[in-house]
Amino acid sequence: MDYLKIQGIDKLSGSVKISGAKNAALPLLASTILAKNDVNITNLPNVVDIRTLLKLLGILGSTYNHNDTKLTINTVNMNETKANYDIVKTMRASILVLGPILARHGHCEVSLPGGCAIGQRPVDLHLKALEAMGAKIEIKAGYIEATAPNGLNGATIVFDKITVTGTENIVMAAALAKGTTTIINAAKEPEVVQLCEVIRDAGVKIQGIGTNTIIIEGTNQELLEFKPFEIIPDRIEAGTYLCAGAITNSELTITNANAKHLDSVLAKFNEMGFETKVNNTNITIYPTSHIKPVNLITTEYPGFPTDMQAQFMAVATMANGVSVIDEKLFENRFMHVSELVRMGANISLNGTVATITGTANELIGTDVMATDLRASSAMVLAALVAKEETRVHRIYHLDRGYNNLEEKLRNLGAKIIRDKE
């Protein structure tokens, strides 16, 4: 099993190119199930989750040519409708094939999903919405069995809480449904917006893109003619590298980014005393003479993203004062706290609230364990400023969502290598 060895450094410098967004690419790959033509995709992130979903699509009967960040995929002859446990258990986003397979074939079996153990992320909202569209759903032996032999029907869907993957699943299902579907309390994340835009460009009438009410006129099971598209930049990867600049108090530039997707993150950097400048697709963070503490609450877009919480907690260990982080979305997303404490961080927990006292003592490198994807990056960030060597274990979590992280950090001056246990 791989692990990372990291020696703390004084400063980083230079620039790093941001990859395509994993969380945009996954639903877009699932949406190709709706296509009647070859679909050409560029800026695809070369990470484990993408390769896992491509493997699943291959098992379902698709063919594809994957060359680093470019992909051509054809799902025309896809005839298998069962997504097996062996694939789905490793990645929760596999649930995204449920809506499009059901809409296209009228039947689908998908194993209940796995992925990061950051808390309950039930799929009941997906299933309730599909039932409103006419599907019959049963849970048998750990599988979701959904049938709609005459196709799905448009319906008014009111999500009791905002769900990103739920919104994406129903957008794809509604694209081939009969009639009009209205999704109320829809997610507004940039990744949801791009999915809607790609499906719209493929011929589906969609209103309200980027709002909390999306209206979709389905094609009654007529497959779609997809146009080539490019995956949007990964806003979480962008934020993570900006955190690398912040925690080392360095000047660092990220390229191929979309600053509009990072408004809440950039605002928090500014609150902490870091100046940030945007120049087209480049964002530069500058060092500060005084790293201020920060208070933040995670919430749905356009609020502060839960996927940046762990990284900002690492940065807060370097602040001059007490920071408070309230995690509103996932109840188990503080598993990185104990690992940061092992390195000397002063963090206390009270329910969903973490209080971080900027350490008067320097962080000390040691053996730490990654517990989920974003916690992995927090460990790496802390290691960049720790005295002595840090060894980050179980980095298969990291590989699920970060493309060439150690190489990119080395290019910025970090002392980081990958080794075998």
First to last CA, the chain: 5
Distance CA 387, CA 236 (A): 27
Q: Which of 37, 141, 163 is nearest to 96 (CA)?
A: 163
From residue 168, alpha-carbon distances to 39, 99, 143 in Å are: 19, 9, 20
Distance CA 77, CA 79 (A): 6
Say if residues 241 and 257 touch (Cβ distance below 8 Å).
no
Structure tokens at 52: 């896992």
Distance CA 370, CA 361 (A): 23
CB count, 10 Å around CB of 354?
22
Instruction: Classify residue 306 by its DSSP letter.
Output: G
Distance CA 153, CA 349 (A): 47
User: Would you put residue 194 in left (φ > 0), alpha (ψ -120 to 50) or beta?
Assistant: alpha
Say if residues 196 and 25 touch (Cβ distance below 8 Å).
no
Distance of CA 361 to the CA centre of its chain: 33
Q: Using the structure block, give the residue that is written with the tokens 């002063």.
A: 346
Structure tokens at 305: 């993203």
Q: Which of 251, 281, 255, 278 is nearest to 266 (CA)?
A: 278
Residues involved in catalysis: 116
Q: Which of 186, 184, 227, 185 is nearest to 204 (CA)?
A: 227
Distance CA 75, CA 126 (A): 23
DSSP helix/strand/coil, 418:
strand
| Radius of gyration, alpha carbons of the chain | 22
Overall residue count recorded for the chain in this entry = 421
Q: Which helix (H) or strand (E) holds 352?
A: none
